[in-house]
Amino acid sequence: MKGLATLLGVVLLGGLGPAAAQADPVRAEAAATGLHISDGRLLEGNGNDFVMRGVNHAHTWYPGETQSLADIKAFGANTVRVVLSDGHRWTRNGPAEVAGIIADCKTNRLICVLEVHDTTGYGEDAAAGTLDHAADYWISLKDVLAGQEDYVIVNIGNEPWGNTDPAGWTAPTTAAVKKLRSAGFAHTIMVDAPNWGQDWQGVMRANAQAVYDADTTGNLIFSIHMYSVYNTAQAVTDYLNAFVDAGLPILIGEFGGPADQWGDPDEDTMMATAEKLRLGYLAWSWSGNTDPILDLAIDFDPSRLSSWGERIFHGANGIAQTSEEATVFGGGGPGDTQAPTAPGTPAASAVTATSATLTWTAATDNVAIAGYDVVRVSGGTETTAASSTTNSVTVTGLTADTAYTFAVYARDAAGNRSARSATVGVTTDKSGPTPGVGCSVGYRVVGEWPGGFQGEIVIRNTGTSTINGWNLGFAFANGQTVSNMWGGTPTQSGSAVSVAPAGYTAQIAANGSVTLGFTGTKGSTNTAPTAFSLSGTTCTKA
């Protein structure tokens, strides 16, 4: 994860000189066991090119989130980078636990990049561990890792040097690589850059050839982490092209998109350049960040993708569009032409004057389902109404007292689309349900950062009867916009915001409440809305 460093105004330094030797394909092929490097490219054991498309998952801090790998795979990822601890700073992940993670990766047909996070910011962060200690940890896991070369990449240590004397990175990095090779490791080894992974002083860039040459197998790949330092297209392309031009393997091992206090990363160029050069990328991170702007999924819930998550999985050059499953799993790559089965017939619930929640039995696929497309059917015409990565969605923007017909398609990461489901008819309410005797709404700002904020809305049913379906209305005063919401589906026109419920918030028991969360954009002023209505009834402020 990105380090806390003063990064504004930084110029990327260093270079790979024209005399730099090309990576030796003969040496790499001779030592190839499973995933390996040849001619600057990451290849599978059968020689097929493999381009990582995936995300980071903070396992060591959230060991109970065992569903995460399956959820990540469902969005089409082919790789997951898993955060582990060698015991220096956090609780050590032992052999049995790591073996379970590898098995989980294989079950979900994901290539597994395992990394030690305790090294983060060494030399600047006094709590950080050394690369030598991390290497000893990997050696202690040798029995677990042996034979997994087709499925596992060993990332020795995360961001193993801070901004203090980053030139000190080269020698311990080289020593750690040699230590693992001397211990008999044949895996592809990944090394992170100094400067909290961002190499803004160009130390890894200048010394990459020497470090690569120190690995007798040539089975080494460099990882650059791209956050606020990479806020221009030129910074991104110059760095990646320097390695490609020198024939040295590289990927973007972490990157962020949302702006922070140090700048606004150019994620569009990162992803576009990675796709153009056929380089891997692994977005930070699935969930669990203390600052949730970098959460791809809110609270580890795959039905609550953030705007950052939508960008990574469904945006231009995103995972759904570009990921190809490793051929070691026997399918899902460029040759995957098998379409998913048709989803089950959708059922409607929480129908209001302007929205309806649809739920259906999930489709199946030979690899994995990437998502669903809900269409409105009118005679022989179909119109896209909503998309979802789970088997439920709330369709909004409907007209009161109107009959609609909906159906669902499933799609996989290779772009194959299922047959259409059976249809369901829905007639919206005439004027929406009446929320009992009354309602109250509480609104608060959870946190703010330059240009953005996180908000929370609590809707309470103050009446004596249950609310079944609702529509919340309010208006912003200072040009704020909702970027992403969990617990509801927002529609915004100018300052006016209308929110339809998610399936799990549609019903509010008498004297009960539901909570919505959201992230949004703002200017210098962030005044709270002053009035709220629920399905046309004015609510008191809590």
Kindly list the catalytic residues.
159, 254
Closest CA to 260 of 294, 223, 222, 220: 294
What is the C-alpha radius of gyration for the chain, rounded to an integer number of angstroms? Answer: 25
Q: What's the rounded Cα separation, in Å, for the pair 215 and 187?
A: 12
Closest CA to 413 of 10, 72, 112: 72
Q: What's the rounded Cα separation, in Å, for the pair 167 and 164?
A: 9
If one counts every other C-beta atom within 10 angstroms of the C-beta of residue 483, the result is 19
Is there a contact between 7 and 235 (Cβ–Cβ < 8 Å)? no
Q: What's the rounded Cα separation, in Å, for the pair 40 and 22?
A: 8
Cβ contacts of 344-348, under 8 Å, gap ≥ 24: 344/421, 345/421, 345/422, 345/423, 345/424, 346/374, 346/406, 346/407, 346/408, 346/421, 346/423, 346/424, 347/424, 348/406, 348/424, 348/426
- Ramachandran sector of residue 184 (left: φ over 0; alpha: ψ -120 to 50; beta: rest): left
Q: What's the rounded Cα separation, in Å, for the pair 407 and 426?
A: 11
Q: What's the rounded Cα separation, in Å, for the pair 68 and 55?
A: 11
Helix (H, G, I), strand (E, B) or coil at 334: coil
If one counts every other C-beta atom within 10 angstroms of the C-beta of residue 510, the result is 13
Tokens of 104: 């989980």
Is there a contact between 405 and 377 (Cβ–Cβ < 8 Å)? yes
Q: What type of residue is 177?
A: V
Cα-based angle 479, 484, 489 (whole degrees, multiple of 5): 100
If one counts every other C-beta atom within 10 angstroms of the C-beta of residue 171, the result is 12
Element spanning 99, H or E: helix 95-107
Three-state SS letters, 397-421: CCCCCCEEEEEEEEEECCCCECCCC
Q: What's the rounded Cα separation, in Å, for the pair 429 and 348?
A: 13
Q: In what order do the strands lie in the sheet with 347-349?
A: 347-349, 356-359, 392-395
